Amino acid sequence: MNIESNRLTRGFHFKTQLSEGMESGDDSVLRCRSALPKMPTISNLDGIGGEGSNGENPCNGEIHSNGKMEVERLISKKLQLKRKAEHLKFDLMRQFDSQVLEFMDSLIEESASLEPAPVPAVFSPPLSDKERSKLRHLQGSSQGKQFVFRRSLLDELFEVNHIRTIYHMFIALLILFILSTLVVDFIDEGRLVLDFDLLVYVFGQFPLVVITWICMFLSVLVVPYSLFHTWASHYHESHHGTLWSLLLGALFLLYQGLGLGFLPTFVVVKNSFPPASCFIIILEQVRLMMKAHSYIRENVPKVLALEKDKSSSSPVSPLIPQLSHYIYFLFAPTLIYRDKYPRNPIIRWSYVASKLLQVLGCLFYAYYVFVRLCIPQFRSISQQLFDLRAMVLCVFNSILPGVLVLFLAFFAFLHCWLNAFAEMLRFADRMFYKDWWNSTSFANYYRTWNVVVHDWLYYYVYCDFLWMSKKRFRAAGMLLVFTMSAVVHEYILAICFGFFYPVLFCLFMCFGMMFNFILHDRRKGPIWNVIMWTALFLGQGVIICLYSQEWYAQRYCPLQEPSFLELLKPRSWSCHLQTNPAVDS
């Protein structure tokens, strides 16, 4: 009863104030607003009707039902607050996600730095303080890469529907490439042409490729392990340890340069392997050379740590890793040797199959990119004049296929291929790349694009150079890393394409070094990410354009008994001056 009487009393006061406000003119505005409740109830909102003639509202001079105008204003304010709350929620969630990721990364790094690298006692007995000090001195100031349990970034991102939609868009683009090729072939030929002549050509002489790879792998399996085992077993027993080290070290360098460096290249050039077959052999050659160096570099300091400890009774043989560990390292998706890596408990064979199928899909994707976007543009290269206008048009027309090839190479190799082998080997550290697409500087892009190669260059080139120079020439160490990377990339392209055209070398050493210092880590903000992507797209267009032009010029304009200087000169610069009957027809 008290509740009902209170309601009637409040209603009576509301009506009284409203009637007084209607009679009091302009001064009634404040009383009209103060008489309304702050938040209307659901029953009041449902009972609001349209405009009527029962009363005149002094708040706006229009005719309304009781309290309708103020309720509408309250509703509009409520909607505005709701929109603000949604924006605030989005900003808070974004900041929360970024801080959680930073926290997890720092937590992983701190936990890895607190624990020593996992080395089983069976293969490496505990060292004394003096031995540890010697080992740290030999290895330099860096403690080396720490391997932890980590998933690949794209595997985590693909769990978000919005990110997975981008993956579906690329699949849709592949379907359109296939349909356009079939439709064009049907219109031109009057039938469906389902041949893959380009794939058959680029992967030609595949049995010889397999035999060459087997020989390379067996040599890497036997020679470095045998040399290190022999050296480690007799180093402390020999009275001429330095000469013994120089002798076996020279044999290892001879094997690296001649057995693993020259002989595979000679087989590739002598048998005129097509491009894809060349890439298989040359990339494996570089990979095995880097793995052999890492194996020797990581294990030699363990033996040298016992050099001056004459009182130590610890045998040297437990410091020599077992052959099974070395074999595992040769297949593991890393270039940094460890006796033991974090391992997953099971193998997900469905995951392996999906990644290998994605590699196959990327291969056909690249095939259609070249068939639809590259070959029609560069096939008639010898009929065009080499001028500035043609070059500019060629570069900009090559940006799209260049970017697609860049994405396909990254996704097929750094994500699918490495994850497939990591899953089969139960290799748990899947950080083969980072979020390079968010880079606002080229320095960060170089560190995050290919973490596997970056780690090798950082620890075995940059850190070792700083250790030998006593940390006095950091700029020279960075220049050494860039030079080595540029030389190796240009060597791979020169052997696989069959001509020397140092476009990539110049891009690395000129623009790469310049952007590394101009677009450094202090550059933040979206505009720098846009600049990074613009430069990256333009560079891919230049690479695809110039190398494709030179490829067709080498085929269409062969030289009769060329001199050494003519071999170094790009053929595309003078190819248009010659007449090729095959092209004219």
240 is catalytic: no
Distance CA(360)–CA(416), nearest Å, equals 10
Tokens 């900003």 correspond to 91
Calculate helix-pair angle for 323-331, 206-234, nearest 10 degrees: 140
Q: In degrees, to the nearest 5, what angle opens at C-alpha 317 toward C-alphas 314 and 320?
A: 120
Catalytic residue, chosen from 87, 489, 520, 576, is 489
Half-sphere exposure (CA, 13 Å, Cβ side) for 248?
20
Distance CA(518)–CA(122), nearest Å, equals 50
CB 507 within 8 A of CB 543: yes
Give one DSSP letter per residue of 317-335, joined into a string: GGGSPPHHHHHHHHHSS-S
- Distance of CA 225 to CAs 130, 220, 233, 461, Å? 27, 8, 12, 22
Partner residues linked to 427 by β-bridges: 343
Tokens 């290895």 correspond to 139
Partner residues linked to 150 by β-bridges: 429
How crowded is residue 50: how many other Cβ atoms within 10 Å of its Cβ? Answer: 7
Interacting residues of 64 by C-beta distance below 8 A, sequence separation 6+: 51, 52, 55, 57
Name the residues annotated as catalytic: 489
